[in-house]
Amino acid sequence: MVKLAVLILTYNEEPHIEECINSAAFADEIVVIDSGSTDRTEEIATSLGAKIAVRPMADGFAAQRNFALTQTDAEWVMFLDADERITPELAAEMRAVVDKNEPLAYQILRQNYVFHQRMKHGGFRPDFSLRLYPRNTITWSGVVHEAAHVTIPIQKLKSVMIHYTYDDWTRYFNKFNNYTSLMAQKSWEQGKRSSLVHITLRPWWAFIKVYILQSGWRDGKLGFIMAVFHFFYTMTKYVKLYYYQEAWDKK
């Protein structure tokens, strides 16, 4: 029988990890790669029968995912975030695909919920994510917003998974700060530079894109709030890049 492993990256995911693992109970193996949680994440995952591997998040998300691939011998793997849930329909479809064992990789449509509201437009509109593949066909690259690379054709599954993107403002702003720093660093390493023009104009384009062009306004009050925060996310990223390069130039 062809085996499927669900791989879950975690860090202090106590509020989410139980429901996440339960939604993946159909899999042959569940592997949690924890980057040093200080809450009950590991305890809960272990009690639910998951295999635990601890590895500090020292070199980015892609390296963490590549490490995860070495922690199972299953022929097929699916990456699942702790704030995501596999629906029963998706579980059945995935099991059927794995049993066929054809050389194909699969994208899965995510329905995104932000502060308990399902988002249908803007930056949090439903999106396809490449998640299910034979283990020996996938590699990852990138420090943040990592990218999956496969060596086989890609298809889309019909069923969806649920993504509870944010449900706590403290968590949102912690991620906001961490991601803008990582993106600034990534931009610097790619040879990109920031200026007052970027800091002034790029945020406006980011807002117009998600709120107007992608119809974020149709998601009501929360659609507007998240578009405004996307404005400040973009500005913060370019401000950090600007001062990062300024500090470098003084060395």
What average pLDDT does range 117-126 have in this prediction?
A: 94
CA distance 115 to 81: 17
Q: What is d(CA 57, CA 204) in angstroms, rounded to the nearest whole number?
A: 33
Scored b (16 or more CB within 10 A) or e, 75-109 reads bbbbbbbbbbbbeeebbebbeebbeeeeebbbbbb
Work out the pLDDT band at 143, boundaries 50, 70, 90: low
Per-residue confidence (pLDDT) for residue 160, from 0 to 100: 96
Per-residue pLDDT band for 43 (boundaries 50, 70, 90) equals: very high
pLDDT of residue 164: 95
Which residue reads 């194909």 in tokens? 104
Confidence of residue 62 (pLDDT cuts 50, 70, 90): confident
User: What pTM did the predictor assign?
Assistant: 0.85
231-250 confidence digits (pLDDT tens): 999 999 999 999 888 776 66
3-state secondary structure of 215: coil
Residues 71-121 have pLDDT tens digits of 999 999 999 999 999 999 999 999 999 999 999 999 999 999 999 999 999
Give the chain's domains with CATH numbers.
4-166 (3.90.550.10), 169-249 (no CATH)
Interval 130-153 mean pLDDT: 87
Of 37, 38, 35, 44, nearest to 17 by C-alpha is 44
| Residue 229, pLDDT above cutoff 90 | yes
pLDDT tens string 177-216? 988 998 888 888 888 899 999 999 999 999 999 999 999 9
Tell me the pLDDT of the chain averaged across its residues.
93
For the stretch 16-30, pLDDT in tens is 999 999 999 999 999
